[in-house]
């Protein structure tokens, strides 16, 4: 008689997602540097030219005002923004501060975008505030110094920042505390403390307005 093996049945529950709304208030300047259309076209032209791209060309005069405009994320509706992924990356990075596996956090935390970049279609959240042009001396990969023109906000706010998260993995208090850690220890944008290339200059820090109630909208329940 043929022996029948018992097969364990795996039960998979429906996603228990919620969306929390936060008011973000900048506590240090925010600086943005998008991958511009000019840079994309230049890289494309170099790759299409192949070996010919190695020949020396006359150096173009710098237009710092254009560099400033090109470095700004502008949505298809015309407002300035920051990549929504900046906050998601910050929250995932903050997990290492509390010993939570970052690989799990990647599957549980997302940022709802307010729109798309008009050039590269990057999902954006809207920045409330008035940008100004800042020109800073920065070091290139080869060690040489260069001047960079970037949009910067001394006073800025995002309202609301919509965080979509798995409620079976994170509580609302855990999400709030992660976001607070991003604002105090990680930062967003250029010059943030958790910059990959340096220790930053203290830019991109923020607080979460304690007077604003956090709302949760249930999804897929």
The alpha carbon of residue 3 and the mean position of all alpha carbons in its chain are separated, in whole angstroms, by 56
Greatest CA separation for the chain: 87
Residues recorded for the chain: 221
168 near 104, Cβ under 8 Å? no
**Closest-CA residue to 159 (of 206, 219, 91):** 206
Domain ranges (residues) in the chain: 17-37+61-216
Q: pLDDT at residue 109 above 90?
A: yes
- pLDDT tens track for 29-52: 999 987 554 555 555 455 555 555
Instruction: Give the integer Cα–Cα distance in Å for 18 and 20.
Output: 7
pLDDT reported for residue 144:
78
Look over the chain and give the mean of its residue pLDDT values, rounded to a whole number. 85
Higher pLDDT, 213 or 178: 178
Alpha-carbon 147 to chain mean position? 24
- Over residues 87-104, the mean pLDDT reads 96
Closest CA to 19 of 201, 218, 191: 218
Q: With a cut of 80, say whether residue 161 has pLDDT above it.
A: yes
Q: What is the pLDDT of residues 121-134, one digit of tens each?
A: 999 999 999 999 99
- Residue 57 above 90 pLDDT? no
pLDDT at 131 (0 to 100): 96
Going by pLDDT thresholds of 50, 70 and 90, the confidence category of residue 113 is very high
- CA distances 149 to 31, 114, 123, 201, Å, are 10, 26, 23, 16
Look at 6-10, 53-57, 134-138, 189-193 and tell me which has the smallest mean pLDDT: 53-57
- How many other C-beta atoms can be found within 10 angstroms of the C-beta atom of residue 148? 17
Q: Whole-model pTM above 0.75?
A: yes
């Amino acid at each position: 008689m043929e022996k029948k093996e018992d097969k364990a049945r795996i039960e998979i529950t429906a996603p228990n997602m919620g969306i929390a709304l936060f008011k973000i208030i900048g506590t240090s300047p925010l600086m943005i540097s998008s991958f511009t259309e000019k840079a994309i076209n230049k890289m494309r032209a170099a790759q299409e030219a192949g070996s010919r791209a190695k020949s020396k060309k006359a150096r173009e005069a710098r237009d710092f005002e254009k560099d400033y405009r090109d470095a700004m994320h502008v949505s298809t509706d015309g407002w300035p923004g920051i990549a929504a992924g900046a906050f998601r990356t910050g929250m995932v990075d903050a997990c290492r501060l509390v010993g939570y596996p970052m690989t799990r956090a990647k599957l549980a935390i997302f940022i709802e975008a307010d729109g798309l970049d008009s050039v590269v279609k990057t999902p954006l959240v809207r920045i409330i505030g008035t940008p100004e042009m800042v020109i800073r001396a920065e070091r290139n990969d080869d060690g040489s110094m260069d001047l960079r023109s970037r949009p910067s906000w001394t006073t800025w706010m995002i309202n609301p920042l919509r965080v979509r998260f798995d409620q079976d993995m994170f509580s609302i208090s855990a999400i709030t505390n992660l976001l607070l850690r991003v604002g105090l220890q990680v930062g967003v944008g250029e010059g943030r403390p958790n910059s990959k290339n340096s220790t930053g200059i203290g830019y991109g820090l923020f607080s979460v307005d304690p007077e604003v109630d956090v709302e949760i909208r249930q999804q897929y329940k």
